[in-house]
Copies of this chain bind each other. A is one copy, B any other.
Amino acid sequence: MTGSTVATPVLELADLHASLSDPLLDTMNFLNEIANRFPDAISFAPGRPYDQPFDAAVVAGYLQRYERHLEQDRGLSHQQAGSLLFQYGRTKGQIHDLVATTIGNDDGIEASPEAVLVTVGAQEGMLLVLRALIRDQRDVLLVGSPCYLGITGAARLLDAPVEVVPEGDAGLDPEAVRERVHRLRAAGRRPRLLYLIPDFANPSGIRMPLVTRERLLRMAAEEELLLLEDNPYGFFARDDTDLPVLKRLDRDRRVIYLGTFAKTCFPGARVGYVVADQLVRAASGPDRLLADELAKLKSMTTVNTSPLSQAAIGGMLLAHRCRLRESNQDRIAAYRDRLERLVAALERHFPAGTRDRSGVGWRVPDGGFFLVMQVPFDADEAALARSAREHRVLWTPMSYFYPTGGGRRQLRLSASYLPVDQIDEGVRRLAGLVRALAPG
- Taking beta carbons and an 8 Å cutoff, which residues of A are in contact with B? 1, 3, 6-21, 25-26, 28-29, 48-49, 51-60, 63-64, 66-67, 78-79, 81-89, 120-121, 123-124, 127, 131-135, 150, 153-154, 156-159, 214, 217-218, 221-222, 224, 226, 249-254, 262, 266-271, 278-283, 287, 290, 293, 296-297, 299-309, 311-312
Contact = CB atoms under 8 A, between A and B. Distances in A.
A241 B29 CA distance: 44
A88 B267 contact: yes
A283 to B, nearest CB: 7
A250 B311 CA distance: 40
A281 B16 contact: no
Given A13-B283, A51-B87, 15 more contacts: A16-B135, A17-B133, A20-B293, A28-B299, A54-B82, A55-B67, A56-B63, A60-B60, A131-B157, A150-B303, A154-B300, A157-B301, A270-B307, A308-B312, A309-B309
Q: Which of A121, A217, A296 has the most CB of B within 10 A?
A: A296
29 contacts: A1-B221, A7-B252, A9-B252, A9-B253, A9-B278, A10-B280, A10-B281, A16-B133, A17-B133, A17-B297, A19-B131, A19-B297, A51-B82, A53-B79, A55-B81, A56-B82, A59-B85, A60-B63, A60-B64, A84-B268, A85-B268, A86-B267, A87-B268, A120-B306, A127-B300, A268-B307, A268-B308, A270-B305, A301-B301
A8 B262 CA distance: 32
Nearest to A126: B300
A429 to B, nearest CB: 24
Contact of A78 (B25, B55, B132, B279): B55
A390 to B, nearest CB: 25
Contact of A150 (B55, B252, B300): B300
Given A53-B82, A123-B303, A153-B299, A17 B131 contact: yes
Q: How many copies does the complex hold?
A: 2
Contacts of A218: 1
Nearest to A68: B56
Contacts of A78: 55
Nearest to A14: B283
A346 B38 CA distance: 66
Contacts of A290: 11
A354 to B, nearest CB: 37
Contacts of A226: 9
B304 A270 contact: yes
Contacts of A300: 19, 123, 127, 150, 153-154, 156-157
Q: Which 4 A-B pairs have the closest CB atoms?
A: A60-B60, A56-B63, A153-B300, A54-B86
B299 A25 contact: yes
A63 B59 contact: yes
B86 A279 contact: no
A306 B59 CA distance: 13
A329 to B, nearest CB: 19
A309 B302 CA distance: 14
A3 B302 contact: no
Contacts of A281: 10-13
Given A127-B301, A150-B300, A297-B19, A222 B6 contact: yes
